[in-house]
Amino acid sequence: MKTTTPIKFSPRRGDFFTTLNQRVNEHFKSTGTARQANTEMKIKTVFMFVLYFTPYFLILGGAVSHPVGMFALCLIMGAGLAGIGLSIMHDANHGSYSTKSWVNNMLGYSLNVVGGNAFNWKVQHNVLHHTYTNIHDVDEDISPRGVLRMTPHGEWKVIHQFQHIYCWFLYGLMTLVWVFVKDFVRLVRYQRDGLVKKQRADIRTEWTVLIVTKVLYFGYILVIPMMVLSITWGQWLIGFLVMHYVAGFILAIIFQPAHVIDGTEYPMPDEGGNMESSWAIHQLLTTTNFANKSTWFSWYVGGLNFQVEHHLFPNVCHVHYRKISKIVENTAVEFGIPYKSEPTFWGALTGHAKMLKELGRRPATVPVDAAVVPVAPAIVP
């Protein structure tokens, strides 16, 4: 059972983040560049929405009616759905898309447009994951995961021995679980744990937004197609599952290797809730970049292959990560802090599989969380 002891990171030792922050600020000042979205980002925004909605309207308008063609368009919709999540929704909900909060809020709700929930995502991702990266029982990205064991501190099950094999199938189910189950479960849990109140949100408003946007989503993705098209329930279901499976798989294989990868660390607080490292150093210990030289790959995945830069500067639009990455790397090396990076995406996936295989081995000792009482995060608005 969790205590109310808050997790506390140590003070910024060695002035690493202070120095880094000054250098990044100077970069934007000297180049006259804004931290928010530029023309490239705005063009990408249009592209991702077009990639998602064009196939939908082609199907709805009857331009493509052959099952094979419709299947292909559903694949493209899945890629567009993932693109909206990786680029548009992600930056907007971090507040890094625009200096105008209404623009960020509006584009942040693009997650609701494709079946998710922006409020839940901001609590789970911005607050819990970004603050307490790879900390067992706090970072929901790694714990608890049921049939997937993504932290050495989690409970081991016999089935975990094979997780490096079956995980790839399960990854495709990610957005489907969000749409039908997780959004509802999370909002209940966040209300129970006081996270809704700590975010200064009104629970009635959040439940209203969740339910109304879910209804609207299924209105355009299910009701309208079934009314307009001469398709069976089975055909619709296949298209729906294909779209979400593609999106879920893409999102999972981009996000997971950044933190669950061979060589990553899983620091835990002591019984008093104290972490050994400062928050910034903790991010470098638990985060890995990959495929940073691939321009097209970075473009599609919303710069999330520059995960180190994203975790240190989530308020900076991802189109700027490549240019500040050298500043981050050089400063880390200067202060003797590891800057983890895999040269290729395949290398990152391989490293992820190796880590899952290692975590799937039967532990030689009792998991840490069975011996140490976990602590609760000190959530801030």
Parse the chain into domains and list their residue ranges: 13-371
pLDDT tops 70 at residue 370: no
pLDDT digits (tens, 9 = 90+) for 73-82: 999 999 999 9
Please, which pLDDT band fits residue 13 given cuts at 50, 70 and 90? Answer: low
Q: How many other β-carbons are positioned within 10 Å of the β-carbon of residue 333?
A: 11
Residue with structure tokens 């279901």? 237
Please, which pLDDT band fits residue 308 given cuts at 50, 70 and 90? Answer: very high
Distance from C-alpha of 234 to C-alpha of 215, rounded to nearest angstrom: 21
pLDDT tops 90 at residue 146: no
Contact criterion met (CB below 8 Å) for 128 and 138 = yes
pLDDT tops 80 at residue 123: yes
Beta bridge partners of 341: 289
pLDDT tops 90 at residue 375: no
Distance from C-alpha of 348 to C-alpha of 230, rounded to nearest angstrom: 44
Please, which pLDDT band fits residue 14 given cuts at 50, 70 and 90? Answer: low
**Would you state the pLDDT for residue 107?**
98
**Would you state the pLDDT for residue 12?**
61
**Would you state the pLDDT for residue 267?**
95
Q: What is the pTM of this model?
A: 0.92
Q: Going by C-beta distance under 8 Å and a sequence separation of 6 or more, which residues neighbour residue 334?
A: none
DSSP-based three-state secondary structure for 83? helix
pLDDT digits (tens, 9 = 90+) for 250-290: 999 999 999 999 999 999 999 899 999 999 999 999 999 99
Distance from C-alpha of 51 to C-alpha of 313, rounded to nearest angstrom: 28
pLDDT digits (tens, 9 = 90+) for 151-196: 999 999 999 999 999 999 999 999 999 999 999 999 999 999 999 9
Output b/e per residue, 221-251; b: 16+ Cβ within 10 A. Answer: beeebeeebebeeebbebbbebbbbbbbbbb
Please, which pLDDT band fits residue 1 given cuts at 50, 70 and 90? Answer: very low
**Would you state the pLDDT for residue 373?**
40
Compute the radius of gyration of the chain from its Cα atoms.
21
Give the residue with greater pLDDT, 74 vs 372. Answer: 74
Distance from C-alpha of 115 to C-alpha of 183, rounded to nearest angstrom: 10
Quick one: CA torsion of 351, 352, 353, 358, rounded to 10 degrees?
A: 90
